[in-house]
Amino acid sequence: MNRANDEDLFPESFLWGASTSAYQVEGSPLADGAGPSIWHRFVRTPGRVFGGQTGDVACDHYNRYREDVALMKELGLTTYRFSISWSRVLPEGTGRVNERGLDFYRRLVDELLAAGIAPNATLYHWDLPAALDDRGGWLNRDVADWFAEYGEVVFRALDDRVTMWATLNEPWVVTDGGYLHGPLAPGHKNLWEAPRATHNLLRAHARAVAAYRAAGRNRIGLVVNLEPKYAASDSPEDAAAVARADAYMNRQYLDPVFFGTYPQELIDGFGEAWPEFPASDLDEIKAPIDFLGINYYKRGITRADDSVIVERATRLDNDRATVTETGWEVFPEGLTNILTWTRDRYGDVPIYITENGAAFYDPPVAFNGRVEDPLRVDYLREHLRAVRAAMQQGVDVRGYYVWSLLDNFEWALGYAKRFGIIHVDYGTLQRTPKSSARYYAEVIKARKVL
């Protein structure tokens, strides 16, 4: 094989995976002694979720996990990223451990290992126990200790078989959607709450890392969603807006972890709503992590807007751009850019692409049993090329997880948008690999973008 082809190959140690989250795929949210989560409540609040849909059944992964693991093995996945439902394990959020809830994750991990697939477990993917929300949730400083207690329980149960852990998934979304703008559980809209939720999420992350250092023997990290910010024009006002947007989304959760400080633009943006936090908190938050998970979906085109605290992304006026069903521009080079930016700003921390995918219209299963999704195939191809480009520029990327393994419950959008590489018939729950799944399997086998 010639040198050019060698350089195109992903390393043999590179991890190839897919991601899901507990509430989106498991179903059976109260089974076997589990307690309700904030999402179990939120979906029952009129007007919150498209069509009044719920995750009560979702993909029924709770009962069909063996079938799903068999599909992962068939595709050649070497790793599977899932989240653990806090309220399955601790129905009241603290105290009493529900062993039957833990048993589900024991069975899942054992099934993965038997199939030669490495488990990658996330402690928190947005489904806070409702009992803890009743006590203030992420606004209560005690939540850091509650989270550490939960972490200790699952570390003791699973760390002998799970070698890769993440504390939080996308804490920015938890705060922005759950406490500032309100489209996600618990549905608050409060400028003063947002920075407190952010800070307590980071404190909880740090306490969980400390708990893991005391009891765990493998690796633990953090998963954030990042988005390169671009100015809508050449004006100084838009340039300043980009700096604020970058601080709010990209640096809000990473600067404290790596530097022990919050971005000044973030503090200035919240103004009097930003509280003074103890320096000891930030010292604690700056605990070393073993890896960083990056979720990437799109870039942000930012335009100055004096009527808001932090400018949100505006729509790109470009008729030639491919746009997903969620209205997101397909922009693969942004993934290369955010990876090199992360390396340049925070150093050579090992990186995993823990989510990357797109919602496109998928036709029904054809008579020949196939689902063709050419736009998703192209999306995966171009984003994998973007990952490889970053690696060739020296970024230490060690794995890639497509979002998502299965079509699933897409939060406030219900079942209206499909991200999966495996089609799920929500009436029968039949699984059908799409052409994107077959393409991904070919890439994994070849270890190169095809």
Give residue-wise pLDDT tens across range 199-247. Answer: 999 999 999 999 999 999 999 999 999 999 999 999 999 999 999 999 9
pLDDT, residue 1, reads 38
Nearest partner of 101 among 31, 23, 166, 162, judged by Cα: 31
CATH superfamily ID and name for 10-446:
Glycosidases (3.20.20.80)
Domain boundaries, the chain: 10-446
Residue 76 token pair: 């050649």
Give the sign of the dihedral formed by CA 50, CA 53, CA 55, CA 61.
Answer: negative
Residue of 26, 227, 311, 355 with catalytic role: 355
pLDDT for the residue numbered 152:
98
How far apart are alpha carbons 358 and 326 in whole angstroms?
8
pLDDT computed for residue 366 by the predictor: 84
403 close to 80: Cβ distance less than 8 angstroms: no
DSSP for residue 126: S
Let me know: does 397 contact 408? Beta carbons within 8 Å. no
CA distance 140 to 133: 9
| Model confidence pLDDT, tens digit, residues 269-319 | 999 999 999 999 999 999 999 999 999 999 999 999 887 777 676 666 666
- C-alpha–C-alpha distance, residues 175 and 325, integer Å: 24
Say how many C-beta atoms besides its own lie within 10 A of residue 156's C-beta: 13
Residue 193 falls in the annotated catalytic set? no
Beta strands in 23-124 (DSSP E): 79-83, 118-124
Residue 150 in this model has a pLDDT that exceeds 70: yes
What mean pLDDT, rounded, does the chain reach?
A: 96
Residue tagged 């970053």 (tokens): 390
In the block, tokens 């998502």 appear at: 404
Structure tokens at 127: 């489904």
Closest CA to 199 of 123, 273, 307, 289: 273
Which DSSP state fits 406?
B
Can you list the positions of beta strands (E) in 102-148? 118-124
- Residue reference for tokens 């589990």: 34
Mean pLDDT of 93-100: 98
pLDDT of residue 153: 98
Catalytic residue list contains 170: yes
Per-residue confidence (pLDDT) for residue 7, from 0 to 100: 79
Catalytic residue among 170, 193, 284, 311: 170
CB atoms within 10 A of CB 291: 20
Q: Which one has a higher pLDDT value, 208 or 3?
A: 208
User: What pLDDT does 315 receive?
Assistant: 62
Q: Which amino acid is at 137?
A: G
Q: What is the pLDDT of residues 29-43, one digit of tens each?
A: 999 999 999 999 999
Task: Give the contacts of 155 (CB within 8 A, at least 6 positions apart).
Answer: 165, 211, 212, 215, 216
Using DSSP's 3-state secondary structure scheme, residue 109 falls into helix
Half-sphere exposure of 114 (CA within 13 A, CB side): 9
H/E element, 255? helix 254-259
Q: What is the pLDDT of residue 320?
A: 77
Closest CA to 141 of 94, 204, 95: 204
